[in-house]
């Protein structure tokens, strides 16, 4: 490991000591700190040629930015722009290769994006996640975590307990999700039951498969104090399914590889906090004007080596402001999940995804637009909830799709025990296969 990367743990400790331990507090003080951080970020960005060009484009200087509201003056950052800048930084500065951390993501576009993190930025991102768990009630030193092996984990890392873990400190069991398929799920459930973790962190589709398998085979599952489905959006159907089996300790965390997680719904809350001490957020409507409901535009105030400013993530949110701070009511998914129409404009798939909101008796659902005129709806039942019959569920889905699109699509429904994830390992509620 590079000596530079060892500094990450120093920064991690620093941020663990300095980040607020809760998202609550005096709104005026929280807002004042965010305002100061935004000004510092913009002063730093002005020194970077990539962002200097955006200042010149907007005719502004760092002195024009002292709040999240001021950021509406600054041009939006798109994923293609970020991709090119990050690649240029990597290609033109080989001296940084052993100094930075690289997070790679393909997202829904399928086009790889390499995101650079300095060790200070990585330390802050990691510390932020730990404090989120602490805010929800997890003890990072004495709690037991059961998590999947991420693509960012060094495969050479030892899987056995470290010296301090043998003494019951910072215990974590990291497993591969490759076993979370077919009858291998039974072994995963038995392993969870034996380990009895306080916290489980798995991809959403893997947690769904575990719960669905347990119900189908009448297997008990250990209820952790907390659990967090990550990497994928959590819809209402998933929430009902998971809480029924795993209990009320659901942490719904929203994040992107470009900056880590920054928006959280903690157990017992019906709204999402924004981590105002590391992020700022605005919402734009279809005309790129500030609004409460629309596209999420996010800024990582802690990323000052490789800034992320006014990033248009294309996710749709509903929000409100209170005492100058923004809160979120829902995070609904990507605006670029589009239904394609022959001879007409594409339309958002969000209305399709909402069809499942009032349905009971489902564990999973997925819409697949196969051609301009063929729509497949895949459904997986909830074996322990039969208050709606399969016929009633099918009729509901078909009638609601017809309300949206008339007779545009030939609709067929397929029932499966479980909906397997795509080759990427993720599981989307809508897939368009029209070229």
Q: What is the pLDDT of residues 15-37, one digit of tens each?
A: 999 999 999 999 999 999 999 99
* The CA-based dihedral angle spanning residues 120, 123, 128, 130, taken in that order and rounded to the nearest 10 degrees: -170
228 vs 209, higher pLDDT: 228
Spell out the residues 6+ positions from residue 365 whose beta carbon is closer than 8 angstroms to its own.
237, 356, 359, 377, 378, 379, 380, 397, 419, 429
Q: Are 313 and 260 in contact (CB under 8 A)?
A: no
The pLDDT value given to residue 357: 74
The percent of residues above 90 in pLDDT, for the chain, comes to 61
- Over the stretch 402-431, which tens digit does the pLDDT of each residue have? 988 888 999 999 999 888 877 656 677 888
The most confident of the ranges 122-136, 337-351, 354-368, 408-422 is: 122-136
Lowest-confidence region among 9-13, 212-216, 249-253, 385-389: 385-389
3-state class of 133 per DSSP?
A: helix
The pLDDT value given to residue 109: 41
Q: How far apart are CA 348 and CA 64, in angstroms?
A: 35
The pLDDT value given to residue 353: 77
**Residue 177: pLDDT over 80:** no
- Over the stretch 59-95, which tens digit does the pLDDT of each residue have? 999 999 999 999 999 999 998 899 899 989 999 999 9
Lowest-confidence region among 104-108, 203-207, 338-342: 104-108
- Output the pTM of the full model: 0.79
Using alpha carbons only, what angle is made at residue 252 by residues 251 and 258, rounded to the nearest 5 degrees? 120
The percent of residues above 70 in pLDDT, for the chain, comes to 90
**Residue 14: pLDDT over 60:** yes
How far does Cα 147 stand from its chain's mean position?
16
**Residue 108: pLDDT over 50:** no
The pLDDT value given to residue 156: 41
The pLDDT value given to residue 252: 94
**Residue 363: pLDDT over 60:** yes
Calculate the alpha carbon distances from 204 to 34, 317, 335, 419 in Å: 31, 19, 20, 12
Backbone φ and ψ for 57, nearest 5 degrees, come out as -60, -40
Lowest-confidence region among 229-238, 257-266, 368-377: 229-238
Instruction: Band the pLDDT of 169: cuts 50, 70, 90.
Output: low
Q: Are 324 and 317 in contact (CB under 8 A)?
A: no
Q: Which two tokens stand for residue 130?
A: 């730990």
415 vs 205, higher pLDDT: 415
Q: How much is the CA Rg of the chain, to the nearest whole Å?
A: 22
366 vs 205, higher pLDDT: 366
Instruction: Band the pLDDT of 111: cuts 50, 70, 90.
Output: low
Average pLDDT value for the chain:
88
**Residue 157: pLDDT over 50:** no
Give residue for tokens 């507090």.
25
The pLDDT value given to residue 161: 53
């Amino acid at each position: 490991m590079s000596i530079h990367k060892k500094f990450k743990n120093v920064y991690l400790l620093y941020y663990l000591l300095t980040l607020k331990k809760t998202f609550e507090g005096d709104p005026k003080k929280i807002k004042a700190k965010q305002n100061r951080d935004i000004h510092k970020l913009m002063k730093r960005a002005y020194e970077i040629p990539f962002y200097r060009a955006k200042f010149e484009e907007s005719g502004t200087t760092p002195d024009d930015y002292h709040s999240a509201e001021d950021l509406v003056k600054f041009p939006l950052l798109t994923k293609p722009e970020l991709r090119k800048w990050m690649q240029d930084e990597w290609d033109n500065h080989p001296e940084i290769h052993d100094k930075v951390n690289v997070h790679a993501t393909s997202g829904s576009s399928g086009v790889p994006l390499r995101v650079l993190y300095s060790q200070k930025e990585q330390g802050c991102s990691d510390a932020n996640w730990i404090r989120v768990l602490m805010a929800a009630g997890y003890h990072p030193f004495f709690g037991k975590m059961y998590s999947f092996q991420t693509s960012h984990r060094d495969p050479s890392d030892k899987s056995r307990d470290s010296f301090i873990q043998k003494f019951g400190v910072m215990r974590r069991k990291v497993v591969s999700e490759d076993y979370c398929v077919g009858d291998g799920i039974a072994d995963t459930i038995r392993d969870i039951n034996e380990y009895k973790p306080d916290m489980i962190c798995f991809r959403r589709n893997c947690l769904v498969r575990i719960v669905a398998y347990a119900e189908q085979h009448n297997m008990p599952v250990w209820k952790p104090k907390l659990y967090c489905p990550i990497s994928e959006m959590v819809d209402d159907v998933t929430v009902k399914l998971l809480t029924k089996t795993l209990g009320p300790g659901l942490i719904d965390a929203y994040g992107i590889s470009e900056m880590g997680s920054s928006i959280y719904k903690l157990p017992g809350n019906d709204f999402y906090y924004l981590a105002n001490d590391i992020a700022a957020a605005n919402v734009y409507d279809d005309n790129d004007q500030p609004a409460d409901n629309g596209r999420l535009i996010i800024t990582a105030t802690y990323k000052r080596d490789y800034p992320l400013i006014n990033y248009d993530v294309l996710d749709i949110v509903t929000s409100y402001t209170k005492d100058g701070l923004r809160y979120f009511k829902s995070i609904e998914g990507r605006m670029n999940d589009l239904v394609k129409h022959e001879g007409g404009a594409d339309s958002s798939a969000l209305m399709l995804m909402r069809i499942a909101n009032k349905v009971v008796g489902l564990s999973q659902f997925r819409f697949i637009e196969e051609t301009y005129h063929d729509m497949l709806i895949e459904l997986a039942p909830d074996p322990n909830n039969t208050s709606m019959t399969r016929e009633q569920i099918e009729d509901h889905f078909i009638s609601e799709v017809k309300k949206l699109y008339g007779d545009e699509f030939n609709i067929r429904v397929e029932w499966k025990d479980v909906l397997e994830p795509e080759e990427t390992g993720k599981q989307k509620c809508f897939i368009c296969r029209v070229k």
